[in-house]
Amino acid sequence: MIKINKAIFDSRLVKILKDLAWNKKPKEQYAWLLGKHDSNNAYIYDLIYDSQAVQTNTRVEPNADYFIKSYKQKQRLLPDTCLRILSWFHTHPINNPSEIDIKSQEDFRKIYQPSFMTFINYNNLDMKCFDVINGKAIEIPYETGFIPDDKKRKS
């Protein structure tokens, strides 16, 4: 089983996620985060924002059909780019994952390996990443920086 030890986010992407969290609060937002990984690190530099998600003040429910359509579209537009799904993203009002988030990540990692969840507290714009192992949320450290284009190509 591959495990991500650290995530590196393109700083431009983090700005997009924080703007989304701030501008749409208190409605929870959902996105899939894309990039590539090596044996240790995940490099996150693209997203599919789920504009069709069911958004309320207490939960967000993704729209899978919309995702599949958007993902295929992206693959056609950027054929030489690595577009692996590595994380799901949402916004919510606290700094910790909820019980439902922990369950969701358990389900997510059954399909996407390796993977982790990312969320932003829309009240203070703190961003956090977690994986869930044996029912326990484990924080994944991350840094933000510029990810050069050659890192984004298929290897």
Site residues (vs Zn ion, CB under 5 A): 92, 98, 101
Question: Which CB sits closer to Zn ion, 98 or 123?
Answer: 98
In terms of Cα–Cα distance, which of 132, 142, 141, 46 is closest to 86? 46
In terms of Cα–Cα distance, which of 14, 9, 49 is closest to 29? 49
Q: Which residue is nearest to Zn ion (CB)?
A: 92
Q: How far is the CB of 18 from Zn ion (least distance, A)?
A: 16
Question: Which CB sits closer to Zn ion, 73 or 96?
Answer: 96
Question: Which CB sits closer to Zn ion, 8 or 117?
Answer: 117
Task: Identify whether the C-beta of residue 98 lies closer than 8 Å to the C-beta of residue 92.
Answer: yes
Q: How far is the CB of 21 from Zn ion (least distance, A)?
A: 12
Q: How far is the CB of 94 from Zn ion (least distance, A)?
A: 8
Q: How far is the CB of 87 from Zn ion (least distance, A)?
A: 13
Residues 6+ apart with CB under 8 A from 25: 91, 122, 123
Question: Which CB sits closer to Zn ion, 93 or 141?
Answer: 93
Task: Identify whether the C-beta of residue 38 lies closer than 8 Å to the C-beta of residue 118.
Answer: no
In terms of Cα–Cα distance, which of 115, 101, 88 is closest to 2? 115
